[in-house]
Structure 1
Amino acid sequence: MNRWLVATLLAWTLPASASDVRHFSNWEYRAIGPANMGGRTTDVEGVPGNPAVVYVGTGGGGLWKSVNGGTTWTPLWEREGSYSVGDLALDPRNPEVVWLGSGEANMRNSVSFGDGVYKSTDGGKSWTHLGLKDTEHIARVLVSPLDSNTAWVCAVGHQAGPNPERGVFMTTDGGITWKKTLFLDDRHGCADMDVDPKNPNILFAAMWRFERKPWNHTSGSEQSGIFKSADGGRTWKKLTAGLPKLIGRVGVKVAPSSPNVVYVACESKEGTFYRSVNAGDTWAEMTREREVVSRGFYYADLRVDPSDENRVYAVAGSLQVSLDAGKTWRVIANRTHVDFHSLWIDPQNPRRMWHGQDGGISVTYDRGETWDVVNNIPLGQFYQIHADNRAPFYQVTGGLQDNGTWTGPSRVRSSAGILNEHWQMVSFGDGFHAYSRPGDPDIIISESQGGAIILQDFRSGE
């Protein structure tokens, strides 16, 4: 199990002074689960034409890799300075080179921050920290399809206040040095970015003002919006023709098969989905469907089919597809989970796609008509855990972000160890606090979002 996941869970759950925390370094951690449901996934990346290799970045469980199509997974990013992945990018010229922007950019109240950019040249076995430590939340990393030393980073910046290390950064020496090329002020960061795959001098970036307080959040401004560079990201100009004046979070994507076609999904009181057919000079509203961008602070993303510029996917509360350039939509993947944050489409076989959401990951081989749910990575984000007093092995119960409340044993007599079958779901939704009744641990009282209280008797099943 991911070392950071366990250590963070313990740190949240056990009130401790600074001196107490130092004792944790001598503990030996033991994975007990659960691994039969996923957790918040921020990015999924595959290798074009190779269904065996998959990378999964998570909001609070680090980075994982499979070399057998998702059957088994290996944690890769366990000893770095963060456990939260914002975005991954595989070098188009060498998939063994992996760039990682740390710090989730889906700015909910329980988001985890990162400490900059990392790079691996051996498929994730070892990592080098490349700086930009104070960005904290990175939404996108792009690598030039023509030059492996050129890359761009789209950084949201601090969640709870202003800071200068945000916006768009560029390197031309493989990450040794960085130059900030798009910066509005210390309250506006970069929410998304894309590059023309046929002409990497053309880039689009979405700038966004976001700030969260304990009681509310600010999303959007008149300065927020879409910017374009025609010189490889060195200079930028704002695009306005046909777009809303007051705009929040924006997702932007170039159609790989026809780069003059560009789409944006935006948080706005006006339209939510726009299309340009002239590389951003002018924009046309395609729909005002609110489910395309239902909660801008949490998701406002999209993907374009690599072989069909009119086939577009909205990555939001649900995963939707449009076959007519965004005019009409239908939900796909409605039997997997909710709250989608990532979609990877194999450019050599667009029928194969991986998506990531609050419940883990799934894969399709028929363009989203059917999905295989791959829930075999321990990614759950516990809000709280409770241990009862039963003997000889106490039971652990906890509430998870968007994955209900689960209970399982701390140890079993079987030589096979704790298995997924030993864990049981107590309640659905967002799980929070959960406790067993004193003197009767088969009765568990749990809570979920909206103030619901659930009493479950595991002896009677009621």
Structure 2
Amino acid sequence: MKIIIILLVSSLIFGCAKEEYDSAAPTYESLYNSSVTKTNWTHIGPLNVGGRTRSLLIQGDSPSSSHTLYAGGVTGGVFKSTDGGESWKALNDLMPNINVNTLAQDPKNNNVMYAGTGEFYGGFRGAGIFKTEDAGANWKLMDNTSDIWYVHKIIVSPNNSDVIYASTSGKVFGSNSGLKKSVDKGITWTNIHSDDSVDVAVVNKDGTDYVYGYSEWKGLIVSFDGGANFTHKVGSSSFVKYDATTPNYVRGSIAFSKSTPSRGYLLVSNWYGQLYGIWKTSDYGANWTKTISQDNDTTKTDSWLLSDPADVFDHNGNGKNCFGRTIDLNDLRSQGVYDQYIAVDPTDADVVWVGGIELFRSDSAASSGSFNKASIWYGTESNYVHADQHYIAFSPTYGRYMPGYGGTDKRAYFTNDGGVFVSTNSKIGTTSNPCESSSIGVEYKEIVKGYGTTQFYHGVVSKDGKYVIGGLQDQGVTLYHGSPDNWTTIAGGDGAYNAIDPDNSSIMYSSYINISIRRHDITVDNETTGAISNSYGRISSGIDTSTYGKGSFINPFILDPNNSSRMYTANKALWRSDNVKAASTSDVTWTNLGTFDGSNSGFEITIAPSNSKVMYVGVGYSASFYRILNPADGP
């Protein structure tokens, strides 16, 4: 029997508290003051693993060693650190929308901050702009902003704290989207440019706000009169969104120099996430020169600024990458639509940072061929920074001699899919050869203790309650074994679905993207060191992905609740294994039970706990829903 319904699939919830309120649409205030409070829940972590972060504020202009930091987790709300990131505390878990994408502060009053919600490039809807006047203890939704789904950037005018600019996208493209301005501290807002706006920068020129906005797909707009009038400087207002036959000014990031405010840079990616170009201005944006173009010359750094450089850099001039594989110019492994940022060293307008999958730095004003690799996204060396860069911020005292710090301040902070990192020597060695990273002298430190912003795709609790295993966005598979601040990563990459044997909680299952299921044999030394022994192997090799597809990005599998040796998973077909506990993981076999509609993969599978002959499978984006009365017979 096939029933078509709408499926709403949410992240794992480990517990549920009963919540009652008027059936009419509740206000944010009524939800906030409801019975769901912190007293109903215990946070079990992970508090030693960070999550995706696109915003950071730094406070502290005195010669001290510690900063006060505020960070916005894209699904975790606002966190605060008073010791330079050594530890973090959530400011408000019950803020009506915690999908914080951007933060801004009043330059004249650090207690006044603004949080813009909604992460367009990750798919998490926001609910407008929130404001605090007490350093984050309380937040209030700004009137007339609740229908703004995505706030990309907020800037408080350097000339007048009453004036605020915000780049936004609305419910749908063109609906309440645009570059917005408030002249009364966020009470009211006016659209000063109607295109979908994905970035904004403001420079003080003789007491006037020079405003720079980036319109998605259309390029850079500039106003020399506080946003009253705009001119396209890079790109064109005539370009049509989603028309790949026109020049691809899809996403852009803007940065201006603090030491030389007339100098600015623009980073642009195309529809495929590849670098489209970098532009430079030396006259406050009146004129822009393209310094870097995407010419597909993989022997130069220019081609891999927004890619995984080891995959696309031709270090020997033979068309092979760092792994000896032939470079495919149609697949440059680029993510510039999802992750990109550009920033300028506060003391030197020629030093430019670009964040893509990794970090890169030019010491020559972003000239062609001048960018070198400044980090690696794997391993445990001191030059490691988690992949997928989203924001770069410099210490307010950067470049100054600070007796309390022990020398000249060179601190820079970097946010990415792994949370927050800091470097204390950000101006030293980089490398022009991504195949050899040992010469990278820039060192980084992960600062995520207490920064509970991870994103769970899925998770399960062992029957005996001792363990929790969860698949995290870009942070692998992590295991809770008693302490919220000591979760252990047992597999890398994007974590996906998981299971724990109900009869033996030391047998666990995890997965990577698509159909890639592993079995783990876990031993935890809870008596002394707490160390974990993790022996694992892949068990899904017997599934035909060539004929029936790789499955969903986050692909489901489930143990039969009444038979711990039996497992089900799905791509375009439903598969069953009856021996997932075979002596060797390579001996696990699978049976094809048949296809669904022939074109869509299974997105979710559940089995009735009391009767293994009753299964439900959600299939495809069209939300087809299958009720299978005997899985042995197939869909």
Fold-level similarity (TM above 0.5): yes
Shift in alpha-carbon separation, 1:123–1:297, aligned structure 2, 3 A: same
Shift in alpha-carbon separation, 1:169–1:42, aligned structure 2, 3 A: same
Shift in alpha-carbon separation, 1:329–1:363, aligned structure 2, 3 A: same
The match for 2:338 is: 298
Residues 422 and 445 in structure 2, CA contact (< 8 A), matched pair in contact too = yes
From 194, 206, 211, give the equivalent of 2:214. 206
**Offset, 1:20:** 6.8
How many angstroms apart in 2 are the aligned matches of 1:270 and 1:456? 40
Residues 402 and 431 in structure 1, CA contact (< 8 A), matched pair in contact too = yes
| Root mean square deviation, CA, Å | 2.7
Identity, % of aligned pairs?
Answer: 24
Residues 72 and 101 in structure 2, CA contact (< 8 A), matched pair in contact too = yes
Residues 467 and 479 in structure 2, CA contact (< 8 A), matched pair in contact too = yes
- Is 1:83 aligned with 2:91? no
From 66, 76, 87, give the equivalent of 2:81. 66
Amino acid at match of 1:207: S
From 371, 381, 385, give the equivalent of 1:329. 371
**Offset, 1:297:** 2.4
The match for 1:237 is: 231
| Map 1:75-154 → 2, pairs under 5 A | 75-105=90-120, 107-108=121-122, 111-131=123-143, 132-154=145-167
**Offset, 1:361:** 0.7
**Offset, 1:270:** 7.4
From 219, 224, 241, give the equivalent of 1:225. 219
**Offset, 1:176:** 1.2
CA deviation vs aligned residue, 1:74-130 (integer Å, no higher than 9, x gap): 21233322011111111112222111111124x13xx32111111112211122221
Residues 147 and 170 in structure 2, CA contact (< 8 A), matched pair in contact too = yes
Shift in alpha-carbon separation, 1:279–1:82, aligned structure 2, 3 A: same
Structure 1 residue runs without a partner (length 5+)? 1-9, 209-219, 413-417
From 470, 488, 491, give the equivalent of 1:424. 488
How many angstroms apart in 2 are the aligned matches of 1:461 and 1:113? 37
The match for 1:447 is: 511
- Is 1:180 aligned with 2:191? yes
Residues 241 and 281 in structure 1, CA contact (< 8 A), matched pair in contact too = no
The match for 2:11 is: 12
The match for 1:386 is: 460
Residues 157 and 165 in structure 1, CA contact (< 8 A), matched pair in contact too = yes
| Map 1:383-422 → 2, pairs under 5 A | 383-390=457-464, 393-409=465-481, 412=482, 418-421=483-486
Residues 87 and 447 in structure 2, CA contact (< 8 A), matched pair in contact too = no
Shift in alpha-carbon separation, 1:76–1:419, aligned structure 2, 3 A: closer
Per the normalisation by structure 2, the TM-score is 0.62
Per the normalisation by structure 1, the TM-score is 0.84
Q: State the secondary structure of the residue aligned to 2:152.
A: strand
Q: State the secondary structure of the residue aligned to 2:506.
A: strand
Q: State the secondary structure of the residue aligned to 2:186.
A: coil
Q: State the secondary structure of the residue aligned to 2:373.
A: strand
Amino acid at match of 2:146: K
Q: State the secondary structure of the residue aligned to 2:67.
A: strand
Shift in alpha-carbon separation, 1:317–1:190, aligned structure 2, 3 A: same
Which of structures 1 and 2 has the bigger CA Rg? 2
The match for 2:444 is: 371
How many angstroms apart in 1 are the aligned matches of 2:235 and 2:497? 49
The match for 2:349 is: 309
- Quick check: 91-100 or 238-247, which moved more? 238-247
How many angstroms apart in 2 are the aligned matches of 1:380 and 1:386? 16
How many angstroms apart in 1 are the aligned matches of 2:235 and 2:470? 50
- Quick check: 376-385 or 282-291, which moved more? 282-291
**Offset, 1:379:** 1.4
Shift in alpha-carbon separation, 1:128–1:453, aligned structure 2, 3 A: same
From 246, 259, 262, give the equivalent of 1:260. 262
The match for 2:287 is: 282
Q: State the secondary structure of the residue aligned to 1:118.
A: strand
Structure 2 residue runs without a partner (length 5+)? 1-8, 22-34, 240-245, 295-301, 307-333, 377-383, 400-409, 428-441, 524-532, 536-635
Shift in alpha-carbon separation, 1:274–1:163, aligned structure 2, 3 A: closer
- Quick check: 256-265 or 448-457, which moved more? 448-457
Shift in alpha-carbon separation, 1:310–1:398, aligned structure 2, 3 A: same
**Offset, 1:21:** 6.4
Amino acid at match of 1:285: K
Aligned residues: 419
**Offset, 1:34:** 1.3
The match for 2:181 is: 170
- Quick check: 147-156 or 446-455, which moved more? 446-455
- Quick check: 452-461 or 136-145, which moved more? 452-461
